[in-house]
Amino acid sequence: MKKFTIGITTHNESATISEMLDRLAGIPPTDVDVLLFDDGSTDDTAGLISTHQISKQENFRAHLSDVNHGTPSVGRAFIGREALSEYVVLFDGDDIIDVPEFMRFIQLAPSGYDILLSSYQYRDRRIGLRGNGGLLQISSASISRVIAGIGGKAYRTELLRDYGSDTVRGRSDDVRFNLRILETGERKLWHVPDVCFYHIRESRKSAKAKSINWQEVKDRMARYTALSNRYALDASYMVSLRNQLTHVVRDDATLESGQRADLFNRIAVLFSEYADPADYIPAPLIRATEKVGLDPKDVFPAQMVPKPQPVRSALSRLARPVRRDPIHLLPLPLRWRMRRALATLRKRP
């Protein structure tokens, strides 16, 4: 039995799939199997696969689906069922494999683990864990790398068979796949340092706010909370997720100002437990709250922050949201204490 299978899922990858197959054809057929699942491409992807020289190699098999399932999970589950190796390394059809680095990876990879992790490259930036490698513990320092993406990872084949399928449609298929693996039991992870065989040209995530599945985000947060209770993890992943969603909403040029304000408020409410007061409370108010001996997050929870109101001016197309003073939302006695504290602070030299 071979130790590794490379599993590729494609959908309309005619611009990049030939380069990927050219690189894979350079791997000795006796070392690695290659399984490809095309998810109903409507361009020339299937034709390029069928006519490529690698299709004649005994270590290559392709399944060309007649329908599009709208998710890579169908292809990954298929690869998991068909693979005969100990490990599967997953690729998307528009990614790049560095063959010499991959051969180093399989030489350094031990048997008997659930997930092997190395580095990956996004554009010109290399992303990976620090340290000398070896047995990897799930911790606050490693969890983001463990659950984010498939780049630079090898999975025990049985995990793809059991957890590759996903009924959810939307962003973050990779994160949900990794969470399904982790939440079902204790896993053995191994870190392979100083190897980078997986290169990503561009992010495949949609930059539109309409792609956000809010129920899926809530479910993912609940899953992470369960993991954090088991492994004593901090909230760094939650903060990262909040920031990612904020950037999507902020940068979506198709949103009107009212829609954007509503989505910002929705994010603030959803992540209120993990919000940093400095994100939405002016610094003088934070100092005043601390002066009266209270926690700013208790006095000004994120869901209290009013929606930004547009500035009215002759140049309305350049209007920007402004923050309103949230003190007026507080109960009257606390409002008086806060205003006295602010007045005291202002008198200081």
Q: Are residues 188 and 237 in the same domain?
A: no
* pLDDT at residue 115 in the model: 98
In angstroms and rounded to an integer, the radius of gyration of the C-alpha atoms of the chain is 25
Q: Are residues 271 and 328 in the same domain?
A: yes
Residue 169 above 80 pLDDT?
no
When mean pLDDT is compared across 18-27, 63-72, 109-118, 331-340, the lowest value belongs to 331-340
* pLDDT at residue 323 in the model: 43
Residue 325: band (very low, low, confident or very high) from pLDDT cuts 50, 70, 90: low
Q: Are residues 226 and 201 in the same domain?
A: no
**Using one digit for the tens of pLDDT, what is the confidence trace for 253-271?**
899 988 888 888 888 788 8
321 versus 203: the higher-pLDDT residue is: 203
Residue 303: band (very low, low, confident or very high) from pLDDT cuts 50, 70, 90: very low
Q: Are residues 55 and 186 in the same domain?
A: yes
pLDDT averaged over every residue in the chain? 84
State what percent of residues in the chain have pLDDT above 70: 83
Average pLDDT value for residue range 160-179:
87
Q: Which of 168, 186, 205 is the last residue of a domain?
A: 205
pTM for the complete prediction?
0.78
Q: Which of 161, 177, 205 is the last residue of a domain?
A: 205
Beta bridge partners of 225: none
**Using one digit for the tens of pLDDT, what is the confidence trace for 129-147?**
988 899 999 999 999 999 9
When mean pLDDT is compared across 157-166, 239-248, 298-307, the lowest value belongs to 298-307
Q: Are residues 200 and 160 in the same domain?
A: yes
> Are residues 272 and 301 in contact, defined by beta-carbon separation less than 8 angstroms?
yes
State how far the alpha carbon of 113 is from the alpha carbons of 117, 270, 278, in Å: 11, 36, 42
* pLDDT at residue 223 in the model: 92
Range of the domain at 69: 4-205
Query: Considering its fold, how many domains does the chain have in total?
Result: 2
Residue matched to tokens 């208790």: 298
What is the helix (H) or strand (E) element at residue 38, kind and residue range? strand 32-38
Distance of CA 14 to the CA centre of its chain: 25
Q: Are residues 124 and 269 in the same domain?
A: no
Residue 277: band (very low, low, confident or very high) from pLDDT cuts 50, 70, 90: low
Q: In angstroms, rounded to a whole number, what is the distance separating the alpha carbons of residues 142 and 139?
A: 5
CATH number at residue 34: 3.90.550.10
Q: In angstroms, rounded to a whole number, what is the distance separating the alpha carbons of residues 300 and 276?
A: 11
